[in-house]
Amino acid sequence: MSFKENIAYITSRIAKVAKHWGMDKPDTNIIAVAKKQSVSKIKESLECGHRLYGENRVQDAYKVWNAKDGFKRDFKDIELHLIGPLQSNKTKEAVALFDCIQTLDREKLADALKAEIEKQGRQVKIFVQVNTGEEDQKAGVLPRDLDKLLAHCRDIGLEVRGLMCIPPVDEPASLHFSLLKELANRYGLQETSMGMSGDFEKAVPLNPTYLRIGTALFGERLN
């Protein structure tokens, strides 16, 4: 199926779930996750009018999206989100390229992002990634440490717009989505990023700001 057919199908599924839960129209935006997808597939999606994309790695994303010879040169209204872990020494490149960074998870990175955003004079949305499953191998701040990180961000003047999570693969995703929504409400954050190709229908009832969908839109990734 084409990108146009896939996004129409996913949009219809979102609407069906929303109707089931009595929601008039969810305020959900679909991030097309372009990680390890071919340039031709990404170009096809752009030609369909899609403009919201996610990437996992700064270096890989730069090759595809940069404003010099990447897609941001010809498509000025692209909104690009970083949805993978960010090293503090990559903040310069990340702030220059991305319009939203969804994976803030520590104070050192908050300091680096604040300094680089001020230096470059860019408006970059910031989300905190929460490790809702408290998995050792996964990035994200632990729920019990979220208060401290958000307080630090307030102290240094770094605005946090919302929260993001990636549930453990062996646990019900809906439990983690509910926890993320509860934390967002607790701290007065209006935006959330939750739900991927395999579980986005479980996120829809919580009206997330962003769904991050890759293979269900583009098909299998390149090796």
- Give tens-digit pLDDT for 94-125: 999 999 999 999 999 999 999 999 999 999 99
Please report, for residues 144, 196, 201, 208, the alpha-carbon distance to residue 172 in angstroms, rounded to integers and kept in the order given: 20, 13, 12, 17
- Which residues make beta-bridge pairs with 127? 162
3-218 has CATH 3.40.50.10860 classification = no
- Which residues make beta-bridge pairs with 41? none
Distance CA 147, CA 216 (A): 35
pLDDT band at 223 (very low <50, low <70, confident <90, very high): low
Residue 18: both structure tokens together: 């929303």
Q: What is the DSSP letter of 116?
A: H
Residues 160-210 have pLDDT tens digits of 999 999 999 999 999 999 999 999 999 999 999 999 999 999 999 999 999
Q: How many other C-beta atoms can be found within 10 angstroms of the C-beta atom of residue 73? A: 12
Give the position of tokens 């999570």: 165
Distance CA 191, CA 159 (A): 12
Model confidence, pTM? 0.96
Give the domain ranges of the chain.
3-218
